[in-house]
Structure 1
Amino acid sequence: MRITDIKTLVVNAHLRNWIFVKVETDQGLYGWGEATLEWKTRAVVGAINDLKPLLIGEDARDITRLSEIMTKHSFWQLGVIGKTAISGIDIALWDIRGKALGEPVWRLLGGKTHDKIKLYTHLGLGESTAVYDSLETNRVIEQALEVIETGYRALKVVFIPYINYTASLREVKHVENMMGRLREAVGNDIDIMVDFHGRPGSASAAVQFIKALEPAHPLFVEEVIQPGDPMAMRDIRNKILCPLATGERLTSAAEFEKYFMLRAIDVAQPDLCHCGGFTEAMRIGAMAAVAGIGIAPHNPLGPIAGVAALHYDIATPNFIIQERMEVVPWFHDVIDGHPDLRNGYWLLPEEPGLGIEINEDVAAQHPYKQEPTNVIQAATISDGTIVHW
């Protein structure tokens, strides 16, 4: 079963352009993957086109071999753009393999380890303004209750202010009050996660905010500092009482290994569209399990990314909870075969491969547009200093 072509389909979904990847074979089978990367759309599409000549004529069933080719024959060390390109192709290859064997991808990854998959979403179900402009307490509570009314039993908030290396008492108290009122409003049966988005510029500032959140018992706090400093993460973990998560911007098992070796986190958050697809994500999950660390995959992306995460979650014993966002009103129209969602859980799909098909007519109605930059340009503090979004 030889690869004959690799194509991309870009679909604009406001804050992100979804990059769908289609791998075609000489037997008529094809697979779909996703390689979405914010504000890097054209670069990722170019990287996929650069990888394509390495794979044309190769057997689509030899997925590990093809992952090795893409990684090692690129010569240069691959950053997030290259790894995202590889991820989209890898996911599509597993889709092909499942279709060829008549089995869902999760069975090929080792089979069922859960009967259903717990989900969480963001305020506004993921609409960008609701997610990233959530610093007003009453509005946050109102939107959280709206999420719960849709059936979710878990939600994530992003209400850490834009700061630099220190946090003022006013900022810390505002976060403490907001979290306390949110917990009171939703009750103790709802899981709350707090995404710091890497905004604190120092470990000490991150700890101040985490301590303010702890009385409300978050399920975990996420990306409390910028990625790449596992020693600082270990120091933070040793000073706090609630679970600590990171990983959405780590792109390989090698990068995760440093955190696992130090036991610097409690929850790993690989993104299948950035870390190398199923092939690398399975390694990351296994390494985390050995270190006693749970898995809660990152996914604010398109519908293929969500379905891929579902298959991964089913086969991952140390899975905890799955992120999901419906960022545009036509989210359900662009693919056929959405997973069955009931009471905040995904049920297990039984269709071969990923079990989805792209509606290319709907996709064509939303062509590429430049992603908006205003949401990240807001990351500036009062004295004009540029800080992390």
Structure 2
Amino acid sequence: MKITAVEAHVCNARMRNWVFVRVVTDEQGLHGWGEATLEWHTRAVVGAVEDMADLIVGEDPTRIEHLWQMMFRQHFWHGNGIVRGTAMSGVDIALWDILGKVHGVPCHKLWGGPVRDYVRLYGHLGGGKMEDFYESDEPQRFGELAAGMVERGFTAFKSMAVPPTMPLEGLAPVRHAERCVAAMRDAVGDEIDIMVDCHARPSPRMGHLFASALEQFDLFWFEEPCWPERPDDIAAIQRSVRTPIATGERLVGAAPFNELLTKGACSVIQPDITHCGGLTEVRRIAALAEIHRVALAPHNPQGPVSTAASIELGLATPSYIICEAVTSDVPWRDEVATTSHPIDPVGMLARATDKPGLGIEIDLDVVAKHPFEPELPQQVFYADGSVGDW
């Protein structure tokens, strides 16, 4: 059996373009689906996927580790960059889908079988626009969104209640974040798990202030309190509060996760399967998490293939605790892919399936109805006009 083609299919989904990767073989009807979605870099990723095809077309698709090494090493610039890492990830995910289909089993059985009965999912409330962050009704809006998430069946959700801040500001943004999180906690009570994502917007010092102020709300985790390039500062914040600190969604490869874990920088690591090196590399990262007894909760705001792969990983990974799930970004989300895993509507629990591979198939006719469009610009400027982090 040989790989005959590696294809990238782009589907615009409002905030981002999903990039679905299909690896085709010379066995009739046998192909695998991956995902390489990277917002604001869609055209670059598609080009990188085409470059990867030159390396692996004609090879045996079941030699996954061998092909991973080829994609990573067989060019002067290793696959550590976000564009190459994302392209590699998409191809790698598709190869695992093929291997499961070859053996007639879901991917989680290739990795030793299920270690749990279901994977818990959490929702995302999103965050306000820069100009809305300090509106007087913003806390009320967060409370209403939180209550709505619980009504949809989620027992956990994440929000971006921390506003963008300059390297040092006064108490206004800190107090605003407190009011927003208080409104969410009042709306859903203590039985629901709340996460707050800073999106790495604050400086290390502002991250400390936000973490300290929000500790009173017993968050499930406090995410990316400062730039991920500052692992020592993230570690200092983790040591300063009892709240679990989460980070890792922007890291590529196992090495930076090893640094985070060695420094005791966080309680939750969040590799993104579509960026970090695919299922092959994320399983190495998961092994590191197990060694350090740290939880794993993958970043997953992308399309349905990323979600299917994340759930399959969770079914076979001991350190895995919960999976991000976007369910209402576009109204036709369920039309673009077959259902990969049955989900209990109460509690939002994804169950295992006997479907081989990732258990998902993409409808290219639906994809064709939503062709590439430039992503919506997400820009942040501070009050004085200087550039902030989105």
* TM-score normalised according to structure 1 size: 0.96
* Cross-structure match for 1:245: 246
1:91–1:278 Cα contact (<8 Å) kept:
yes
* Cross-structure match for 1:4: 4
**Aligned equivalents of 1:36 and 1:333: distance in 2?**
18
**Aligned equivalents of 1:106 and 1:88: distance in 2?**
18
The correspondence of residues 113-132 of structure 1 with structure 2, limited to 5 A, is: 113-123=115-125
In the alignment, is residue 90 of structure 1 matched against residue 92 of structure 2? yes
**In the TM superposition, what whole-angstrom CA distance separates every residue of 1:193-218 from its partner, at most 9, and x where no partner exists?**
00000110x21110111111111111
Q: CA deviation at 1:189?
A: 0.6
Counting matched residue pairs gives 382
For the residue of structure 1 that corresponds to 2:331, the secondary structure is coil
* Cross-structure match for 2:302: 301
* Cross-structure match for 1:359: 363
**In the TM superposition, what whole-angstrom CA distance separates every residue of 1:317-338 from its partner, at most 9, and x where no partner exists?**
0111110112110010000123
Q: CA deviation at 1:300?
A: 0.3
CA RMSD of aligned residues (A): 1.5
Q: CA deviation at 1:167?
A: 3.0
* Cross-structure match for 1:20: 20
**Aligned equivalents of 2:317 and 2:41: distance in 1?**
30
* Cross-structure match for 1:372: 376
* Cross-structure match for 1:167: 169
**Aligned equivalents of 2:368 and 2:181: distance in 1?**
42
For the residue of structure 2 that corresponds to 1:366, the secondary structure is coil
Q: CA deviation at 1:77?
A: 3.0
**Aligned equivalents of 2:192 and 2:353: distance in 1?**
26
Unaligned runs of 5+ in 1: none
**In the TM superposition, what whole-angstrom CA distance separates every residue of 1:242-287 from its partner, at most 9, and x where no partner exists?**
0000010001001111101111111000000001111000000001
**Aligned equivalents of 1:359 and 1:133: distance in 2?**
38
Q: Structure 2 vs 1, CA of residues 138 and 76 (structure 1 numbering), >3 Å: closer, same or farther? A: same
Amino acid at match of 2:110: L
**Aligned equivalents of 2:239 and 2:337: distance in 1?**
44
**Aligned equivalents of 1:134 and 1:300: distance in 2?**
22
Unaligned runs of 5+ in 2: none
Q: CA deviation at 1:111?
A: 1.2
The correspondence of residues 234-273 of structure 1 with structure 2, limited to 5 A, is: 234-273=235-274
**In the TM superposition, what whole-angstrom CA distance separates every residue of 1:152-207 from its partner, at most 9, and x where no partner exists?**
1001000211112113212111111221221121001100000000110x211101
1:294–1:319 Cα contact (<8 Å) kept:
yes
The correspondence of residues 311-350 of structure 1 with structure 2, limited to 5 A, is: 311-326=312-327, 327-342=329-344, 343=346, 344-350=348-354
**Aligned equivalents of 1:5 and 1:134: distance in 2?**
47
In the alignment, is residue 192 of structure 1 matched against residue 187 of structure 2? no
Amino acid at match of 1:359: D
Percentage of matched positions with identical amino acids: 43
After superposing on structure 2, the runs of 4+ consecutive aligned residues of structure 1 that deviate more than 2 Å are 128-135
**Aligned equivalents of 1:71 and 1:315: distance in 2?**
25
Amino acid at match of 1:59: D
2:211–2:237 Cα contact (<8 Å) kept:
no
The correspondence of residues 55-204 of structure 1 with structure 2, limited to 5 A, is: 55-78=56-79, 79-123=81-125, 136-200=138-202, 202-204=203-205
**Aligned equivalents of 1:313 and 1:184: distance in 2?**
31
Q: Structure 2 vs 1, CA of residues 268 and 4 (structure 1 numbering), >3 Å: closer, same or farther? A: same
1:131–1:158 Cα contact (<8 Å) kept:
no
Q: CA deviation at 1:241?
A: 1.3
Q: Structure 2 vs 1, CA of residues 243 and 153 (structure 1 numbering), >3 Å: closer, same or farther? A: same
For the residue of structure 2 that corresponds to 1:333, the secondary structure is helix
Q: CA deviation at 1:130?
A: 8.9
Amino acid at match of 1:15: M
**Aligned equivalents of 1:308 and 1:387: distance in 2?**
33
**In the TM superposition, what whole-angstrom CA distance separates every residue of 1:85-134 from its partner, at most 9, and x where no partner exists?**
000000000000000000001111221111111110112xx6x8799967
1:167–1:208 Cα contact (<8 Å) kept:
no
**Aligned equivalents of 2:144 and 2:196: distance in 1?**
17
